Amino acid sequence: MSAQPADQPADPTSDVTAGRPVVEERPTIVMCPEGPMLLRGDAVIEDAEGNRHRTTRPVSAVCRCNKSATKPWCDGTHKLLPKKLRP
């Protein structure tokens, strides 16, 4: 096992290979400006009423504007809101 050089901190979020662009580890959760929260992987979400919803796709979009008709999932409704009222 080779030691990590002292001047290169072990960073789990980056994969730097000499001479190549940095490819970052993708995040599991992403807050989209004025849009939903993206969630990668299997998860169970409990909504405000205590109902549980299991994710059904590799990436899910969770409503953040609170106006979706398919909560907890995003249905694009945030785009119909004035910009000030978007997440």
Partner 1 sequence: MLLPKARGTLSEQLFTALREEPGTAVVLDAAVADDAEDRAIALWASYELHYRGFEDVDDRWEWSPDVLRVRAGLEEVLESELRERYDAHRPERTSDRVEDLAKDLFDYIAAHDGPSMARYVQTDATEAQTMELLRQKSVYHLKEADPSAWVVPRLPTGPKAALMELQFDEYGDGNPARLHQHLFERGLEAAGLRSEYGAYVDEATVPVLESNNVQSFLGLHRRLRAASLGHLAAFEATSSIPSRRMAQGLERLGFPDEIVEYYREHVEADAVHEQLAVRDICVPLVEMEPTLADDVFLGAFACLDTEDRQARDLLERWGVDA
Binding residues for partner 1, rule: CB under 8 A, are 21, 23, 26, 30, 32-36, 38, 57-61, 69-70, 73-77, 79-80
Asked whether the beta carbons of 55 and 42 are under 8 A apart, the reply is yes
Taking the least distance from each CB to partner 1, the nearer of 1 and 22 is: 22
- For the CB of residue 63, give the shortest distance to partner 1 in the complex, in Å: 9
What are the phi and psi torsion angles at 77 (to 5°)? -60, -30
- For the CB of residue 47, give the shortest distance to partner 1 in the complex, in Å: 15
| Strand partners of residue 73 | 62
- For the CB of residue 85, give the shortest distance to partner 1 in the complex, in Å: 15
Amino acid at position 19, single letter: G
Asked whether the beta carbons of 26 and 32 are under 8 A apart, the reply is no
